[in-house]
Amino acid sequence: MESLSRKDAIWEAATFFFTCLVFVVPLVVVFFLTPQISLGVQEKPPAGCRKLGLATSSNLDDQYEQRYRQSNTPDKGAGGSPIGKVKALFVYPIKSCYPVELLQGEIVRTGIKYDRQFSFAQLISGQPELDTGKTSHTWKIITARQFPRLTKVKTEAWVPDPKSSSYTKNNLWAKSDGCIVVTFPFTPDITMSREGLANLWTVIKAKLAAGSLTAEPTVSFRLPFDPTAERIERKKYTREELAVFKDSPQALNVGTEIEPNVLAQLKYFLGVSNPLTLFRIDKQSYREVHRCAPGKEEVGYQPVIGLSDGYPLHLLNLASVRDVESHLPMEGPKSLNAIRFRANIYITGPPPFAEDSWKFVRIGSTKFQVSCRTARCVLPNVDPKTGVKDNNEPLSTLRSYRLVDEGAGASPCLGMQMTPVSADGGEVRVGDEIEVLETGEHHYIKP
């Protein structure tokens, strides 16, 4: 027995030595021979800028509490006292990607500044023409409807800050009205080559830094928010037609801002097989909003949008979300993160669906026309935290009792689309009171 124990001990020691030889030693060698992957080194913030938005926790962290499941003010009609408050504000610099949360937002003609000015797009090729053999190619936006993992692509908005020690007027980001930082998870290939072992160390660093075995390394790139003519020429942007549902505005193809290897990693992460690029709406080609929005004769200007689906702003009542949640079946998601519905302005106070009849509201000091209800598609079925799409919910539940607008047909409704009444803009803040100025009927008009 003693002999067997000694053999076991020798075997364990040999196994430990072999493991160190094969795995630990190469990692140590890679660590010392590859200084650019040292632990804890973070990319420097964009020079001369400060980060826009909340630094830590979200104003929606407590969204599931009982107090948001019902009205905490009586339902008021037109001209009544304030009916509720702004709970949270969000912008989505890149369409369908994870949002940036704000404490206050500047209202511009297209909605809240920084909202949905960019979109990823894939190149779609048509069938060859029978007579010429030519094939048409069209850039079309992609959204989380087709590629759910877009919600895991995080964006940061950095704005010029003259108080920063690195600020200069000629800085790229200062001249471009800020910088957008885009980050997505990507685990590189791990092999026994030096590059593969370097990748292994990158993975280990990510897990150590996050204090989690499930953490993934990330890849980032940066781009100017509003590129100058000089930047457009130097980076060889192209102006191309971009298919945005039934619209085809001219937009700036800013794909040259993304390194080819990073773009390849992003395609792999998202599951896109066609050519992929990133577009920015051309400020000279904003998309005019008609349908249920007020016209120039009503508000003195023609409402426009960047790359939003249909209207400048989207408002959502948290009590309405919780009501939908209460109708969910036992199978599927048990709770609904309100971010699934991708609103700009989340409010609390009114009872569920009170907003269905609003026609004009004042939020803080800024007046809005409530243009129409929001007709829902499959996008809220995507969990924004995981990028996983449920086959049924919450769309099936919405269809069971929220077919409330004849104009929307078979599309259920939740939330309201809004248009600023003044082209001069304004501001909205978390905590702003909401006053209902006028109520009435809504009839959704399809695009």
pLDDT at position 25: 47
In angstroms, the CA 101 to CA 91 distance is: 7
pLDDT score of 129 more than 90: no
The contacts of residue 25 (CB under 8 Å, 6+ apart) are: none
Per-residue model confidence as pLDDT tens digits over 423-444: 888 999 999 999 999 999 999 9
pLDDT score of 40 more than 50: no
Contact 359, 330 (CB under 8 A): no
pLDDT at position 419: 97
In angstroms, the CA 393 to CA 380 distance is: 8
Per-residue model confidence as pLDDT tens digits over 156-168: 999 999 999 999 9
Contact 90, 343 (CB under 8 A): yes
Q: Where are the domains of the chain?
A: 2-33, 49-439
Question: Cα separations (Å) of 385 from 77, 206, 260, 290, 340?
Answer: 37, 18, 27, 34, 9
pLDDT at position 9: 58
Question: Cα separations (Å) of 334 from 288, 326, 327?
Answer: 39, 9, 10
- Half-sphere exposure in the Cβ direction for 145 (13 Å, CA): 10
Who wins on pLDDT, 20 or 305? 305
In angstroms, the CA 258 to CA 296 distance is: 39
pLDDT score of 72 more than 70: no
Of residues 187, 154, 216, 207, the one with CA closest to residue 384? 154
pLDDT classification of 369: cutoffs 50, 70, 90: very high
pLDDT at position 190: 65
Q: Taking CA 59 as the corner, what is the angle to CA 58 and CA 63, rounded to the nearest 5 degrees?
A: 105
Q: Residue 430: what are its φ and ψ, rounded to 5°?
A: -60, 130
pLDDT at position 69: 82
Per-residue model confidence as pLDDT tens digits over 389-425: 999 999 999 999 999 999 999 999 999 999 999 888 8
Per-residue model confidence as pLDDT tens digits over 174-183: 999 999 999 9
pLDDT at position 44: 85
Question: Taking the model in full, what pTM does it have?
Answer: 0.86
In angstroms, the CA 414 to CA 11 distance is: 65
